[in-house]
């Protein structure tokens, strides 16, 4: 099965700290690592390792990081025909990760914002042969709009992860079949206060109108699992797999990649949610993202060897 990923690349730099700093504070970090990242890259590699055939549209800079990620993609076996060197600077990101697993991430888009509508037109033949198109907000909404309009012409399922958070335009939402967001993004979308105190039942009781009227909405709740909403059906809550969390960075991307794979494979929402939760759990118990995105066999073994989570 073939999928289109509207990608993004970020040269990621992460610091581990005891607690996240308050405004104006200077703190000492305990550890540092850097590597290739970006939500769109994570989604593409995550889906590729699960066995989907990925067509990746990606903008990189002409810097050392851009050259390195191009070589990485070729070694990984991802088709690079739509990986474009645009501008000098690749995307650049900085993250702080606290001892309790909380994080703060800031991203400079670099070449990602040099992707424009004309670059999407080169995807038309690939879109004709695909089942799903996936996008995120480290690229411009105008590019996603162009791609989603084209996808609708050829009856593809459209998946949007509006992260880093920006409110999707009404037209983009109308073209989106599946919306996946985390708690903070959902709080912005639905104008919620004190969302951190909401119980699972409160999330399940969330009123979606007038904010969302699409086919599927998933809100991920970190270590508590995820909730799926669909029209005229009761919300489906699926708890997370129990793991010792080391670094939550990228867990949402692993979840989204896993759900895309499972949706196309299982076509049953409970199984797809359990599989996606397993992908997120495997990322959360590892340090780093790209190297930790699991192969299909790893996810299947994890699910076989761990007790199936049950609703509280």
- The superfamily CATH assigns to domain 2-19+31-305 is Ribokinase (3.40.1190.20)
Beta bridge partners of 100: none
Contact 294, 261 (CB under 8 A): no
Q: Residue 66 and residue 257: Cα distance in Å, rounded? A: 23
pTM, entire model: 0.91
Give the pLDDT band (50/70/90) at residue 312: very low
How far CA 230 is from CA of 178, 216, 267, in Å, comes to: 10, 5, 14
**Domain limits of the chain?**
2-19+31-305
Contact 73, 5 (CB under 8 A): no
Tokens at 224, concatenated: 């508590």
Give the pLDDT band (50/70/90) at residue 168: very high
User: Tens digit of pLDDT for each residue in 65-87?
Assistant: 999 999 999 999 999 999 999 99
Report the sign of the C-alpha dihedral through residues 130, 43, 263, 231, in that order: negative
Contact 142, 93 (CB under 8 A): no
Higher-scoring residue by pLDDT: 1, 121: 121
């Amino acid at each position: 099965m073939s999928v289109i990923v509207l990608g993004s690349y970020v040269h990621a730099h992460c610091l581990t700290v005891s607690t996240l700093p308050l405004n104006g504070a200077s703190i000492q970090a305990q550890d540092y690592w850097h590597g290739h990242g970006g939500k769109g890259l994570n989604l593409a590699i995550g889906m590729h390792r699960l066995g989907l055939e990925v067509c990746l549209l990606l903008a990189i800079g002409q810097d050392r990081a851009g050259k390195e990620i191009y070589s990485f993609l070729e070694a990984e076996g991802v088709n690079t025909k739509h990986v474009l060197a645009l501008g000098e600077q690749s995307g650049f990101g900085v993250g702080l990760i606290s001892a309790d697993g909380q994080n703060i991430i800031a991203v400079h888009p670099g070449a990602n914002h040099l992707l424009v509508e004309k670059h999407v037109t080169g995807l038309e033949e690939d879109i004709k042969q695909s089942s799903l198109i996936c996008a995120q907000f480290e690229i411009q909404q105008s590019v996603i709009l162009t791609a989603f309009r084209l996808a609708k012409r050829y009856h593809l399922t459209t998946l949007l992860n509006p992260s880093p958070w920006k409110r999707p335009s009404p037209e983009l939402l109308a073209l989106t079949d599946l919306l996946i967001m985390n708690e903070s993004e959902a709080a912005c979308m639905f104008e919620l206060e004190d969302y951190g105190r909401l119980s699972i039942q409160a999330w399940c009781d969330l009123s979606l109108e007038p904010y969302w009227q699409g086919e599927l909405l998933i809100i991920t709740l970190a270590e508590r699992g995820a909730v799926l909403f669909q029209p005229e059906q009761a919300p489906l809550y699926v708890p997370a797999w129990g793991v010792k969390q080391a670094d939550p960075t990228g867990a949402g991307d692993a979840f989204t990649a896993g759900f895309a794979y499972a949706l196309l494979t299982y076509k049953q929402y409970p199984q797809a949610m359990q599989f996606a939760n397993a992908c997120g759990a495997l990322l959360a118990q590892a340090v780093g993202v790209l190297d930790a995105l699991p192969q299909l066999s790893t996810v299947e073994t994890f699910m076989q060897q761990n007790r199936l989570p049950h609703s509280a």
